[in-house]
């Protein structure tokens, strides 16, 4: 009985196992397959919508079309833009040059350094008659002949600019004369520093004499009457005018050109130096002009 029971149990287990193996398992991919089918239908529908939109756009009015053979800007527009730009550039450059020429002309006119085309020399300088502060006697342009000279127009009450420029003139004079003495044993022309007052109402001969001593022992101080000083300043194109309280007799300043002039031994104007020209630059320039004069 026991053996028959065991046999029946074994046959039952074997039958169930066979049925489980022969029966197909339920598919777990069905939801994914349904999702893929839905996505495929949506894709086909969207593609049809896009194609339909493209067909409608292509069949619309010419304003909505873009010609592949033509760019957004035609050759005519490019030509007009180029022509306009070139015209603006031309007028800008001409106006800029006109302004530059105007500034140069204004500077030349203000300084009075007009060139004599025929002679090739600037029409600066000329005869003058002033008073030598050392002797109280008359001093003219003829007294400078035979030497190089550096002329500076200023006034003794000048707070800073005149002293600075006269110190520069003094240093240049010392350097140049030292070189000339070594080169020619004191027989050649020297460089003479000269101060000319443009404020004769306050710059007496005595005051000018004491003033120039502070800068160089060889500096010549010249003054004179209002008319004499004005005439000399005009010959050298020097601008000056009183500033400040005109009611005060002695309390005023004088606005003037800040220029130092170089003359050759013949009394001719050679060149000039402004405030911004350094001492070294002046020395090199004066030395060059002296060498050129000696070698001519």
Q: What is the mean pLDDT of residues 32-52?
A: 49
pLDDT score recorded for residue 265: 96
Residue 20 lies in a domain: no
Confidence of residue 106 (pLDDT cuts 50, 70, 90): very low
Q: What is the mean pLDDT of residues 220-247?
A: 91
Asked whether residue 184 is marked as a ligand-binding residue, the answer is no
- Is the pLDDT assigned to residue 4 strictly greater than 90? no
Specify the range with the lowest mean pLDDT, choosing from 81-85, 89-93, 198-202, 228-232: 89-93
Q: Which residues pair with 269 in a beta bridge?
A: 263
Residue 177 lies in a domain: yes
Query: Looking at per-residue confidence, does 14 or 242 come out higher?
Result: 242
pTM recorded for the entire structure:
0.60
Report angle CA 169, 170, 172 to the nearest 5 degrees: 65
Confidence of residue 104 (pLDDT cuts 50, 70, 90): very low
Q: What is the mean pLDDT of residues 110-130?
A: 63
Query: Looking at per-residue confidence, does 37 or 216 come out higher?
Result: 216
Q: Are 151 and 263 in contact (CB under 8 A)?
A: yes
pLDDT score recorded for residue 52: 52
Confidence of residue 283 (pLDDT cuts 50, 70, 90): very high
d(CA 157, CA 200): 11
d(CA 185, CA 162): 33
Question: Taking the mean position of all CA atoms in its chain, how far away is CA 231?
Answer: 38
d(CA 32, CA 66): 44
pLDDT tens for each residue of 131-155: 999 999 999 999 999 999 999 999 9
Asked whether residue 88 is marked as a ligand-binding residue, the answer is no
Q: What is the mean pLDDT of residues 246-258?
A: 81
Residue 76 lies in a domain: no
For residue 77, the surrounding DSSP H or E stretch is: helix 75-111
Residue 51 lies in a domain: no
Residue 229 lies in a domain: yes
Residue from 197, 264, 274, 191 nearest 232 by CA: 197
pLDDT tens for each residue of 160-179: 999 999 999 999 999 999 98
Q: Are 188 and 148 in contact (CB under 8 A)?
A: no
Residue 117 lies in a domain: no
Residue 245 lies in a domain: yes
d(CA 282, CA 144): 20
- Is the pLDDT assigned to residue 15 strictly greater than 60? no
CATH number at residue 249: 3.40.30.10
Q: Please state the φ and ψ torsions of residue 186, each to the nearest 5 degrees.
A: 80, 10
Q: What is the mean pLDDT of residues 91-101?
A: 57
Structural domain harbouring 275: 127-294
Residue 56 lies in a domain: no
pLDDT score recorded for residue 115: 39
Asked whether residue 162 is marked as a ligand-binding residue, the answer is yes
Number of structural domains the chain divides into: 1
């Amino acid at each position: 009985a026991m053996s028959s029971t065991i046999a029946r149990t074994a046959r039952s287990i074997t039958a169930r196992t066979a049925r489980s193996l022969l029966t197909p398992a339920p598919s777990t991919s069905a939801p994914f397959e349904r999702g893929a089918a839905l996505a495929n239908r949506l894709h086909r529908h969207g593609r049809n919508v896009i194609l339909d939109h493209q067909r409608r756009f292509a069949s619309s009015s010419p304003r909505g079309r873009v010609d592949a053979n033509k760019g957004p800007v035609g050759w005519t527009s490019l030509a007009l833009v180029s022509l306009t730009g070139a015209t603006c550039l031309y007028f800008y450059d001409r106006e800029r040059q006109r302004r530059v020429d105007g500034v140069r002309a204004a500077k030349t006119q203000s300084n009075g350094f007009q060139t004599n085309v025929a002679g090739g020399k600037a029409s600066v300088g000329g005869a003058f008659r002033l008073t030598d502060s050392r002797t109280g006697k008359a001093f003219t342009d003829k007294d400078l002949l035979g030497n190089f000279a550096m002329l500076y127009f200023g006034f003794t009450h000048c707070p800073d600019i005149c002293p600075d420029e006269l110190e520069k003139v003094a240093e240049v004079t010392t350097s140049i004369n030292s070189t000339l003495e070594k080169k020619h044993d004191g027989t050649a022309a020297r460089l003479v520093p000269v101060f000319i007052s443009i404020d004769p109402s306050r710059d007496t001969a005595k005051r000018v004499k004491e003033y120039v001593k502070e800068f160089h022992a060889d500096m010549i101080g010249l003054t004179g009457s209002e008319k004499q000083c004005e005439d000399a300043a005009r010959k050298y194109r020097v601008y000056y005018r009183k500033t400040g309280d005109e009611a005060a007799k002695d309390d005023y300043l004088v606005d003037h050109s800040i220029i130092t002039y170089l003359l050759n031994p013949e009394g001719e104007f050679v060149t000039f130096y402004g405030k911004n020209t350094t001492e070294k630059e002046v020395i090199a320039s004066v030395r060059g002009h002296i060498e050129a004069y000696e070698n001519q």
